[in-house]
Chains A and B, each alone.
Chain A
Amino acid sequence: MGLRFYVLFIFSILTVLGAMMAGSTGQFLALEFLLVVVFYEFGRAHLGKKTVSVMKYIAFFLAVVFILLALQKIETVLEGI
């Protein structure tokens, strides 16, 4: 089993912990985005090419969702004003 397995294992543990501890889905998505970016940056030497490109897509997807959620939040705040 390669080093890649252990990197993904640690990533999975942190993801599950984040999912259980986050206060809201928005918070979880932000945390997950950070996790993906950190693991992509520091773990890419140990991850295979395919895994790295999947991580890139996930980070992009999470960023889009996170921006949409933020816009929704801003809209709600503006409506309140």
Chain B
Amino acid sequence: MDRRLIFPVSLVFFGIVLWYYGGYSGLQVYANLGISSIIIGLLTLSMDNESSKLLKSTCEAFCEILDSFNENSFPLLIVIPPYENLPKGGLLFVSSTEDVSLGILRAKTGRISLRYSEGYLITPVPGWGLFEEATKEVVSEDPYSGLSNFLAAEGVSSLRLFDNGDGSYVLFVKPLCLPKFFDPVVSASLLSLAVSMDSLLEVFDVDYTGEFLTLHFKPLGGVEEWA
């Protein structure tokens, strides 16, 4: 028997005994406590705390592979929200934002030629699955809040967003694995922000604060402005 099941199953069993004893002896408090014990046991049984560990162990090698693409040759990252050409969003590594044109992008990972220079496009965004999972159920919430709540609820990570007041923002995010932008949580967070703000995002600075990754970014305007 799985060790995680011992506590909830004993809680349910204890609840049944308590309920029976309460009914048998006429002590109503015991019967009530028995029912509540069964309910709490069932809810504890439905909790799955291993998802974050499992996610981390499965994505570590994946992050390393993606890191070998060497993002350093292109210092700037542009996060592209999903649109016609890139239905699952994209991460575009470039040396300058000036010659970016979304019209030439196609849904294929690899080196691309921009107007005057080159760039590297990664699509789908590595955290697309997380983003989709977090946003498909709660339609009323904006994608960023949806993802933030989802990650916190699953115990995977936590996100904090601050507005600098000068048009730029700071996002604090706890990554699963270190190669920064390829981390599913980091890329899903950036994508959710791009969708929430309905804009391309330029990540211009990255540093670490403890176990949190600090991403400084600014919105560049909607997809139509860069077509």
Contacts and interface: CB of A to CB of B under 8 A. Distances in A.
Interface in A19-62: 19-20, 22, 24-25, 28-29, 32, 36, 45-51, 53-55, 58
Nearest to B141: A45
B164 to A, nearest CB: 27
A3 interface: yes
Interface residues of B, number: 29
Nearest to B30: A19
Given A2-B49, A32-B39, A16 B33 contact: yes
Contacts of A28: 32, 35-36
Contacts, number: 89
| Most A C-beta atoms less than 10 A away, residue of B29, B149, B150, B153 | B153
B39 A15 contact: yes
Interface string B23-34: 000001101110
A46 B41 CA distance: 19
Nearest to B31: A25
Contact of B154 (A2, A18, A22, A32): A2
Interface string A1-22: 1111100100110011011101
Contacts of B84: none
Interface residues of A, number: 31
At the interface, is chain A mostly helix, strand, loop or mixed?
Answer: helix
A5 B98 CA distance: 47
At the interface, is chain B mostly helix, strand, loop or mixed?
Answer: helix
B40 interface: yes
A65 B22 CA distance: 18
Nearest to B148: A45
A32 B47 CA distance: 20
A58 B39 contact: yes
B155 A1 contact: yes
B36 A4 contact: no
B152 interface: yes
B36 A49 contact: no
Given A20-B32, A36-B39, 17 more contacts: A3-B149, A3-B153, A5-B47, A5-B49, A8-B43, A11-B40, A12-B40, A18-B32, A19-B33, A19-B36, A25-B35, A32-B35, A45-B138, A46-B153, A50-B48, A51-B46, A53-B46
5 contacts: A2-B155, A22-B32, A24-B28, A28-B32, A29-B35
Interface of B: 28-29, 31-33, 35-36, 39-40, 42-49, 52, 137-138, 141, 146, 149-150, 152-156
